[in-house]
């Protein structure tokens, strides 16, 4: 198999750049508001919870179509957010009728597990406060370490 032509490499580079620009435009528009300037409640029930999660994913599904044939592409981060929304929905859903987790819920739980294992934050976290009496704050607000640097990319 021969290496890709210069034209094919150029097209791949343009495709990658287009995907990155779409993601960055989206992040600049809403990412700061949700993650940096306010607290985001993952398990918020009802219509408000649904709307907040939907607002994080462009077009509702995070799929962009590029090229003459409108080939669909997705950005991993948006797939992860969509899966977290599905897991959120599975968590807050009334299961009094005995329903089990859906197939898509199982897929998402496995996908998020893979992403954590492949791309997880390896920062060392304390398990207890120095007093050894109180556990760490389980509901702390975390921020991107260099959000501005990410936007500039």
Tokens 């702390």 correspond to 140
pLDDT of residue 107: 93
pLDDT of residue 120: 75
As a whole-number percent, the residues of the chain with pLDDT over 90 amount to 6
Cα(11)–Cα(7) distance, rounded to whole angstroms? 6
Does 104 have pLDDT greater than 70?
A: yes
Give the angle subtended at the CA of 135 by the CAs of 134 and 137, to the nearest 5°: 115
Q: Which residue has the higher pLDDT, 127 or 53?
A: 53
Closest-CA residue to 77 (of 64, 88, 65): 64
Does 143 have pLDDT greater than 80?
A: no
Tokens 């995907």 correspond to 19
10-39: pLDDT as tens digits: 776 666 656 655 555 555 444 444 444 444
In sequence order, which ranges of 27-145 are alpha helices (DSSP H)?
A: 46-55, 76-92, 103-119
Instruction: Using pLDDT thresholds of 50, 70 and 90, give the confidence band for residue 108.
Output: very high
Cα(30)–Cα(25) distance, rounded to whole angstroms? 9
pTM, rounded to two decimals? 0.57
33-68: pLDDT as tens digits: 444 444 455 566 677 777 777 777 767 677 888 888
81 by Cβ neighbours in 10 Å (0-12 / 13-18 / 19+) ranks as middle
């Amino acid at each position: 198999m021969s290496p890709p032509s210069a034209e094919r490499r150029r097209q791949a580079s343009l495709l990658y750049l287009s995907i990155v620009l779409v993601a960055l435009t989206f992040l600049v528009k809403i990412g700061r508001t949700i993650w940096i300037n306010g607290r985001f409640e993952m398990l918020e029930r009802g219509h408000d919870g649904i709307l907040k999660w939907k607002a994080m994913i462009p077009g509702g599904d995070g799929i962009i179509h590029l090229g003459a044939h409108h080939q669909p592409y997705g950005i991993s981060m948006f797939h992860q957010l969509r899966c977290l929304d599905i897991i959120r929905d599975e968590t807050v859903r009334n299961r009094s009728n005995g329903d089990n987790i859906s197939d898509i819920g199982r897929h998402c739980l496995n996908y998020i597990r893979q992403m954590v294992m492949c791309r997880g934050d390896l920062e060392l976290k304390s398990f207890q406060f120095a007093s050894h009496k109180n556990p760490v704050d389980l509901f702390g607000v975390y921020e991107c370490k260099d959000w501005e640097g990410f936007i500039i990319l």
